[in-house]
């Protein structure tokens, strides 16, 4: 692959499937043969834990790398998925966020410190916290393609428009290559009239290309993190495995954004 890609999964709401999407898209791309770096920027560290990495044996985390105290190469961890590595999070990220909340400069640290490592991987995937603060901004400044997982019901629409505006502002002020490349409907209830209605409203508002195939509500997706497994290890034949693989293929086939 020639152009390394940088995907950011973000939505200021919690519980919409950001982490599930980050982990399983990253794993799907690794299974396809790409080298993938998953960067966990959420102090809750759910992506890190979902991959079976425990807080107790970390040498460092994303905040050590952002502040230039450690090299990314010394902090990242292999996972049991071949070609998938994680730059882990820990609770210390919330101290980092609080301490540098008002620093404009800090928004550029992740990009600066990860540039070389991102160039060494086919894909870098950022999981973000449910906020629009420093850690999310840092990921949007470092990334190139924003994807917004959103729960497939009408009430979710407002939060989505907010995040599209945030991406637009970040693009204008800090990162001209950034764009929203996909909305990923999650917790999709196949057969419910409102689910299909919401898909068509999304397509009307944002354009059919931006609305990616939905991820159905699926119990296996809720069970997998507890066992420290991706959906592909947990249950390869589940709807969740099929849906995430399908979205990963779509993202791969879209290719990198056209150069400015």
Ligand X SMILES: Nc1ncnc2c1ncn2[C@@H]1O[C@H](COP(=O)(O)OP(=O)(O)O)[C@@H](O)[C@H]1O
Q: Of these partners, ligand X, Mg ion, none, which one is at the site of residue 121 (CB under 5 to 8 Å by kind)?
A: none
Q: Which of 18, 85, 121, 181 binds Mg ion (CB under 5 A)?
A: 18
Q: Which of 79, 113, 136, 217 binds ligand X (CB under 6 A)?
A: 217
Q: Which of 123, 187, 244, 245 binds ligand X (CB under 6 A)?
A: 187
d(CA 159, CA 171): 19
Burial 103-113 (b: 16+ CB within 10 A, else e): eeebbbbbbeb
d(CA 41, CA 131): 11
Residue nearest to Mg ion (CB): 19
Total residues in contact with ligand X, by rule CB under 6 A: 17
**Can you read off the two tokens belonging to residue 231?**
């959906």
Long-range pairs, 193-202, Cβ under 8 A, ≥24: 194/153, 194/154, 195/152, 195/153, 198/152, 198/153, 198/154, 198/157, 199/152, 201/154, 201/157
CB of 92 to ligand X, least distance (A): 19
CB of 206 to ligand X, least distance (A): 20
d(CA 16, CA 14): 6
Q: Of these partners, ligand X, Mg ion, none, which one is at the site of residue 33 (CB under 5 to 8 Å by kind)?
A: none
In this complex, which beta carbon is closest to Mg ion, that of residue 109 or of residue 126?
Answer: 126
Counting contacts by CB under 6 A, is residue 222 touching ligand X?
yes
Q: Which of 19, 113, 124, 170 binds Mg ion (CB under 5 A)?
A: 19
> Which stretches of the chain are DSSP H helices?
18-31, 46-50, 62-66, 72-75, 92-99, 109-119, 134-142, 157-173, 193-206, 219-223, 231-234, 239-254
Q: Which of residues 224-253 bind ligand X (CB under 6 A)?
A: 225
Q: Which stretch binds ligand X (CB under 6 A): 64-72, 82-90, 175-183, 215-223?
A: 215-223
Interacting residues with ligand X (CB under 6 A): 14-20, 46, 130, 186-187, 215, 217-218, 221-222, 225
Interacting residues with Mg ion (CB under 5 A): 18-19, 46
């Amino acid at each position: 692959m020639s152009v390394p890609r940088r995907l950011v999964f973000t939505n200021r709401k919690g519980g919409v499937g950001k982490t599930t999407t980050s982990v399983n898209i990253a794993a799907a791309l690794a299974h396809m043969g790409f080298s993938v770096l998953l960067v966990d920027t959420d102090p809750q560290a759910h992506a890190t834990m979902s991959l079976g990495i425990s807080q107790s044996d970390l040498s460092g985390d994303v905040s050590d790398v952002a502040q230039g105290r450690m090299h990314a190469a010394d902090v990242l961890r292999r996972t049991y998925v071949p070609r998938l590595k994680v730059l882990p999070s820990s609770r210390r990220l919330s101290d980092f966020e609080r301490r540098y909340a008002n620093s404009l400069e800090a928004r550029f640290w992740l990009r600066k410190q990860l540039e070389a490592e991102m160039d060494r991987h086919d894909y870098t995937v950022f999981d973000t916290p449910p906020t629009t603060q420093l850690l999310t901004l840092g990921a949007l400044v470092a990334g190139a393609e924003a994807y917004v997982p959103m729960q497939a019901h009408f009430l979710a629409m407002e939060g989505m428009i907010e995040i599209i505006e945030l991406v637009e502002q970040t693009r204008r002020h800090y990162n001209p290559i950034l764009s929203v490349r996909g909305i990923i409907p999650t917790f999709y209830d196949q057969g419910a009239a409102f689910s299909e209605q919401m898909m068509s409203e999304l397509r009307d508002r944002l354009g059919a290309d931006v609305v990616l195939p939905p991820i159905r509500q699926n119990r296996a997706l809720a069970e997998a993190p507890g066992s420290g497994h991706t959906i592909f290890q947990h249950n390869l034949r589940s709807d969740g495995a099929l849906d995430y693989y399908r979205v990963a293929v779509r993202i791969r086939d879209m290719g990198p954004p056209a150069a400015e």
